[in-house]
Amino acid sequence: MTLPDHPPLPICQVRLPGRVEYETALAEQNALAEARGRGAIPDQLLLLEHPHTYTLGTSAHDEHLLLTPPELEARGIRVYRVDRGGDITYHGPGQIVGYPIMALPRESEGLRADVVGYVRRLETVIIRLLADYGLQGQPIAGLTGVWVQTPSGAAKVCAIGVRVNVKAVTKHGFALNVNTDLDYFGGIIPCGIRDKGVTSLATLLGAPQDMAQVRERLIAHFGAVYGREMQLTTTTPPLA
């Protein structure tokens, strides 16, 4: 008996550019999103790090940035207002920032993409990754991101903030604290949430973690959750 062939999975190209200035990564996202909207490229996943950066999303409150301009300059932190959802967060060395550039399915022309479902799947990717390390990640009702329970209460290990354009293509994404210096979160009220903490894999596991191994596992879970064939690429992106 001949079994029917399974159709090939859609491709998602993975880019690992290393440590990238925030404005450079944003320009790359915009260019890739435009190309994806035209169907010129397959889905993309950028995994990178940023220098010390605070970003304020569309729901951000200025008072959630606690440092003055001189203090920001002294600590080498740059600040950006961006078009993702959410409040203020921190990006920096030791953190894996993921920017999926994906065309979300729509049932028919004119219907909105399932943005909530897309975000829930991002949370699932991180929860499965944490399970690889013996950690129980969880969402919290009414909030976005992935949390773990600590002796001090719930703490966020991964922040999520996205934008979906009119062509149903995603931008921005998630920030997973791996070996992140958590002191930088002290300069903000992370995501505008005052009663919960922030943590990292290194803090939870008691030792720094291998960033390359975390990325490898993250890519595998991303492909499984979204049903994509993940392909590492070194091709030059169509920068704006």
Return the ∠ at Cα 117 (arms to 116 and 120), rounded to 5°: 90
Does the structure show a pLDDT above 60 at 3?
Answer: no
Positions marked active-site: 191
Least confident of 58-67, 115-124, 212-221: 58-67
pLDDT of residue 107: 61
Neighbour count for residue 61 (Cβ, 10 Å): 11
The neighbouring-strand residues paired with 161 are 173
**C-alpha span between 123 and 100 (Å, rounded):** 13
Burial zone of 34 (CB within 10 Å; 0-12 exposed, 13-18 middle, 19+ buried): middle
pTM, entire model: 0.92
Higher-confidence residue: 234 or 175?
175
What share of the chain has pLDDT > 90, as a percent? 76
Measure the CA dihedral 160/145/66/77, to 10°. Answer: -40
Does the structure show a pLDDT above 70 at 112?
Answer: no
pLDDT-derived band at 142, boundaries 50, 70, 90: confident
- Domains, the chain, in order of start with CATH, read 11-103+113-232 (3.30.930.10)
